[in-house]
Copies of this chain bind each other. A is one copy, B any other.
Amino acid sequence: MARVLTPRAEDFPRWYQDLIAKAKLADNGPVRGTMVIRPAGYAIWERMQAEMDARIKAAGAENAYFPLFIPESYLKREAEHVEGFSPELAVVTHGGGKQLAEPVVVRPTSETVIGEFMAKWIDSYRDLPLLLNQWANVVRWELRPRVFLRTSEFLWQEGHTAHATREDARAYARKILHEAYEDLMVNVLGIPVVVGLKTARERFAGATATYTCEGMMGDGKALQLGTSHELGQNFAKAFDISYSSAEGGREHAWTTSWGTSTRMLGGLIMAHGDDNGLRVPPRLAPIQAYVMIVKAGDGVGEAAAKLRDALRDAGVRVALDDRTDTAFGRRAVDAELRGYPVRVEVGPRDLAAGNAVVVRRTDGSKAPTPVADVVDAVLAALEADQQALHDEALAHRRSRTVEVSTLAEAIEAAATGWAMVPWSAVGIAGEAEANGQGVTVRCLLRADGSVPDNEDEPDLTAILARAY
């Protein structure tokens, strides 16, 4: 078979770009740094959204929608926040054919405008917790854009909540972190993320604690796939989000925010893709089984359509490819590129023997299978390959992670993977030194793997890596 993609080992970034182009997942937009998400890519995003949205709702948050345009003055109310964002802002100066009296900013995130409305909506402790989420586009001007990973406009969900106490805010930020983000990433995306605490240096602007889900990509680098923040009372004070307590006093609320984005599509590609293209975990895949007519022949079309229907009836997301005017080999290469978990190839020769061929994308195995057994074989493959992709990614992460005891060793190890090193051996000075060499502290963990409350806890482990 002719080489379709630049092999990963040869040039990983090039492989990534090739894959996105050839699998028709996305294109660059006409304005620098923007992207067009094509149907094949967007269908995966829709499945991520649906799975995430269900988890967010199960955690009690409600969806709402806040405006794209934010008055410039809002961003200035929380000093640290504006510093974090100002170089990235897109500013609208003209509207309705006139220069605007006050320029408006295209939201880089909605903390400020949501803070303003929380202040209006919250009156008493009875109004708390207020648990909001929105699905929206945001804009952060990117000088070195990369499709899905860093784009000037991206799609995301941003949750914003207000609570009566610090404890309640913390518990909710962690609930989303584990029950929505970690669960989705591990059990649907099949990416064995490490969940930990960001250092002060890596924290979100305005947050008192940032929790993160970090995934290892195929080249050993880290990708931050989602973050959940405790904002303390910083935003509540800046926007006067306060409530009358049961005791009658007036108190500032404690707020959180949390987000995941189309960046997860980049993570999916880089965590599971191979030299033949994307591999989509079955639970996520918009098309789980791809029934292909190899070439026209006696009863082939009918048999393929019957299999499609039988798979659909069994609850499988299925598509039928009957484009026999395009060469089968080309269509098979496309199916590999797209990463459909299972292909069912129906051709005259196999069919004459009563078989269709079940091809598994995860390991490339091809099994001639009696037509009557195809549905069971597909169901079994989908179940097994969800786990197989996860386990392969976990084995990869383990093989590329080393435990070391000094900063120098950690920086060296980060050239090819992740380093686990005592946080006490790094510290603030060590972190700055690592940063100077392109290595960052991805997160801090407790000895038992759980998530610390702050970086001053004893015996923390730091994960150092290069990152996207």
In addition to A27-B120, A34-B69, A39-B132, 19 A-B residue pairs with Cβ atoms within 8 Å of each other are: A27-B117, A30-B67, A31-B67, A31-B69, A31-B70, A35-B67, A36-B117, A38-B64, A39-B64, A42-B63, A42-B64, A45-B65, A46-B63, A67-B153, A68-B137, A68-B153, A89-B95, A92-B92, A126-B326
A29 touches B67 (CB 8 A): yes
Residues of B within 8 A of A88 (CB): 96
User: Which A residues lie at the B interface, using CB under 8 A?
Assistant: 27, 29-31, 34-39, 42-43, 45-46, 62-71, 74, 86-97, 103-104, 106, 113, 116-117, 120, 126, 132, 136-137, 139, 141-143, 152-153, 155, 325-326
Distance in Å from the Cβ of A44 to the closest Cβ of chain B?
11
Residues of B within 8 A of A66 (CB): 29, 36
Q: Considering the chains assembled together, what is the distance between the CA atoms of A104 and B142 in angstroms?
A: 15
Q: Considering the chains assembled together, what is the distance between the CA atoms of A66 and B155 in angstroms?
A: 11
With A35-B67, A39-B62 known as contacts, the answer to whether A87 contacts B92 (CB < 8 A) is no
User: Mostly helix, strand, loop or mixed at chain A's interface?
Assistant: mixed
With A27-B117, A113-B30 known as contacts, the answer to whether A67 contacts B97 (CB < 8 A) is no
Contact of A65 among B36, B69, B89, B104 (CB under 8 A): B36
Residues of B within 8 A of A106 (CB): 68, 92, 106
Distance in Å from the Cβ of A77 to the closest Cβ of chain B?
12
B86 touches A94 (CB 8 A): no
Q: Which of A27, A35, A67, A155 has the most CB of B within 10 A?
A: A67
Q: Considering the chains assembled together, what is the distance between the CA atoms of A39 and B141 in angstroms?
A: 30
A87 touches B97 (CB 8 A): yes
